[in-house]
Amino acid sequence: MDRLEREIVDLLPRLRRLARVLARDVADADDLVQLTVERALLRRGQWRPGTRLHSWMFRIMKNAWIDEARARSRRAAILSPEEEAQHIGSDGAAAMEERLEARAVEDAMARLPEDQRLAVALVLVEGLSYKEAAEVLEVPQGTLTSRLGRGRAALLADLQETTA
Amino acid sequence: MTDRLTAYVDGELDADARRAFEAELAADPGLAAQVAAHRTLRTRLSAAYRPVLEEAVPMRLELSARAANDRARSPRAAVWAAMAASLVVGVLAGRFALAPEPPVAVGADLPARTELARALDRQLAAEPGVVRIGLTFRDTQGRYCRTFQSPADRLAGLACRGPERWRVVTATAWSPTAEPEYRTAASATPPEVLAAVDRALAGEALDRRQETAARDAGWR
């Protein structure tokens, strides 16, 4: 393994997290991660060492997701009741409560338009700066902050009633 | 105001702007409540997705990071990269009690009670044991096949699962070398065995989860 490959392996948990925001289904999300990694390695010449690897790979993932979403009809965003039962199955009460809280947040995220969801994911979940997030999305910073603002307002309104 | 408020919560204000905003904040309970609401949102979002970071990363993703280059060159290379990545075989000292077992015969079913048959049945890749299991995959006939190294038999080979028993498809003389360091299973697997895998392999090698599932299903 060379250095880039090692750094990508280290980044896998974060890539999986961002993918999970985009594709809620775990297998779909991991497929997206795999596609992202493969594309990144194919285009490794485009990566400038010393720049932030996560920004570069998030951008590849964003583009891969857009390509994929266009190419196929996406799976239903809402889990079936069966799957829901599995998710909260054998856990204890505290874990179940945590899981339900996470689900409320995920549901609210899923209701956002995709551009807002991505902006929220990059800044509020991944902790990127406005500048970095705008670079990942390949939009001006003003566009990023406006998407972020609308997404955030919608989430606040949506999650108000379900505050834990 | 909302822009400044969220920029403050997101840590995007420079030092002067931040101090000015904090002065306003101290004087305005309504503003402070809004800041608190935005902070809570950030906390809830990061808490909802944090568990993903603690999940075990599926083997196939690690392999895609390690092997994608090789795959571009040769579709099979990914498999060897997979072995190299997933298995580190400890040095075996070379001192083994000779098992009072019948020698392994190529092309014949393995008696179920042999150490090798037990390992093929139960052991996962890279798990410690007298026999080492390398790679598991399905061959072109849909059978499960596994590479193995058996110091006791002084053999390395490939066995595939028939309806009842494991059958050794290929075996070659092999003994653990006494290199004072760890080496990968790929390098320890003789080229004859690798070539046999290459011929038999359909698709990709199984990852850990698939391997475990196949074992638990009795290699059916």
Q: Domains in chain A, start-ordered, CATH in brackets? A: 1-75 (1.10.1740.10), 93-164 (1.10.10.10)
CA distance A70 to chain B (A): 23
Q: Coil, helix or strand for B44?
A: helix
Q: A103 to chain B: nearest residue by CA?
A: B48
From chain A, pick out residues whose CB is under 8 angstroms from the CB of B11.
129
Contact yes or no for A89/A43 (Cβ under 8 A) = no
Which residue is it, tokens 């026999």?
B131
**CA-wise closest residue to A126 among A110, A111, A148, A103:** A148
Do B158 and B145 meet the contact criterion of CB atoms below 8 Å apart? yes
Average pLDDT, stretch B47-55?
90
Residues of B in contact with A163 (CB under 8 A): 40
Lowest mean pLDDT among A2-6, A122-126, B182-186, B195-199: B182-186
ipTM, two decimals = 0.81
Q: Which amino acid is at B218?
A: G
Can you give the pTM of this predicted structure?
0.57
Q: What is the torsional sign of CA B21, B24, B26, B31?
A: negative
Q: What is the pLDDT of residue A94?
A: 73
User: Average pLDDT, stretch B194-208?
Assistant: 82
Closest approach of A73 to chain B, Cα-based (Å): 24
Interface of A with B in 101-120 (CB under 8 A): 101-102, 105-106, 109, 120
pLDDT tens by residue, A124-160 = 999 999 999 999 999 999 999 999 999 999 999 999 8
Residue A77 above 60 pLDDT?
no
User: Could you say which residues from 61 to 90 on chain A have a Cβ atom under 8 Å away from some Cβ of chain B?
Assistant: none
- Cα end-to-end distance, chain A, whole Å: 45
State the average pLDDT for chain A. 83
For B156, list phi and psi in degrees, rounded to 5: -125, 145
The answer to whether A156 contacts B85, with C-beta atoms less than 8 Å apart, is no
Task: Using the predicted structure, report yes or no on whether residue A81 has a pLDDT greater than 60.
Answer: no
Could A9 and B40 be called an inter-chain contact, meaning their C-beta atoms sit closer than 8 Å?
no
Which one, of B71, B91, B73, lies nearest residue B81 by Cα?
A: B71
pLDDT at B109 > cutoff 90: no
Distance CA B146, CA B125 (A): 9
Q: How far is A5 from chain B (nearest CA, A)?
A: 6
Region B53-58: mean pLDDT is 84
Mean pLDDT, all residues of chain B: 77
Check residue B67 and give its pLDDT. Answer: 59
Q: Does the beta-carbon distance from B48 to A106 stay under 8 Å?
A: yes
A92 — pLDDT class (breaks 50, 70, 90): low
**pLDDT exceeds cutoff 80 at B79:** no
Identify the pLDDT of residue B1. 59
A interface test, pick of B38, B57, B63, B64 with most A CB neighbours within 10 Å: B64
CB-based contacts of A9: which residues, under 8 Å, 6+ apart? Answer: A1, B62, B65, B66
- Number of other CB atoms surrounding residue B172 within 10 Å: 16
Amino acid at A86: Q
Task: Please list every residue in chain A whose beta carbon sits closer than 8 Å to the beta carbon of residue B6.
Answer: 145, 148-149, 152
